[in-house]
Amino acid sequence: MSGETRPCNTRSRCGWLELIRPPNLFTIPGDVLAGAALAGFEASRLPQVLMTVAVSLLLYVSGLILNDYADRGRDARERPQRPIPSGRVDARSAGGVALLLLAVAIVLGWLVGPRVMITATLVAALVLAYNGPARRVPWLGFAVMGLCRGGNVYLGAAAVDRLAALPVAVGAVTAAAYIAGVTTLAYTEAQGPDAKAKQKRIGQLIRGLIVLQAAYVAVSALHNPPWFTVAVIALLLSMSIGAARTARVFYGS
């Protein structure tokens, strides 16, 4: 979702905010928390789960920046108001920051544990693939984008050292299919006279992922501490509200 944003006090700061799309960031922690819930959360793993949320956020922000970096040539022709072609964000700086965030995510994953590091490395590879060769083949790009989300669910399972749990696989595949579908819709509907309304609907669908994450946590309630289930669902509700309010401020809709 890349609608028009409201003015910022600082031109470059506004450009970076547009690159990272703040409303979408609210959908990220739920991937890891849902993965941990589906795998079977243990209170002793809470620090690892929280650190893995940070890993997931770093990977996602990197992917968002790389997305605009990869699109900078087309944006210069079709959307010159975007941060990089407009000159509000230097292209070389954007690429460097994105790669740095990927590296930091992998290092942080190593600090959490080998399973998180390996999973984070695989997700980072998917991020690079999507913003490299995969995006040149639309349907392949949609699939890779979905796999990035599925990989984030696996990050949560890696944080509790239970990657092989069947519910995790089901949750990851469902999340991947959902995001692949939303990405396909964004590609096919983002043009035309009612593009702004379509972009708003796509943004709502992206934020709707939080509902799916809450469903994962709810169906896993019997296998997790009650306090964890209640706390995560309350957090996801707050994330949904935060995403909607931030979207209204950031996109003016």
Q: Consecutive 10-residue runs of the chain (253 residues): their mean pLDDT?
A: 47 81 93 97 96 98 95 89 92 96 98 98 97 87 94 98 94 95 76 60 82 95 95 96 85 59
Q: Is residue 30 part of a domain?
A: yes
**What pTM, to 2 d.p., does this model score?**
0.90
Q: Is residue 246 part of a domain?
A: no
- Domain residues for 108? 26-240
CATH code (residue 65): 1.10.357.140
Q: Is residue 17 part of a domain?
A: no
Annotate 219-237 with three-state secondary structure.
HCHHHCCHHHHHHHHHHHH
Tokens of 164: 């092989």
Q: Is residue 4 part of a domain?
A: no
Q: Is residue 97 part of a domain?
A: yes
pLDDT at 204: 78
The structural domain count of the chain equals: 1
Q: Is residue 164 part of a domain?
A: yes
Name the nearest CA neighbour of 173 among 139, 140, 149: 149
Q: Is residue 248 part of a domain?
A: no
Q: Is residue 8 part of a domain?
A: no
Residue 70's CB: how many other CB atoms inside 10 A?
A: 17
pLDDT at 13: 66
Give pairs for 76-80: CB < 8 Å, separation 24+. Answer: 79/2
DSSP letter at 11 equals H
pLDDT at 183: 85
pLDDT at 50: 98
CA distances from 123 to 155, 188, 239, 247 (A): 9, 25, 23, 26
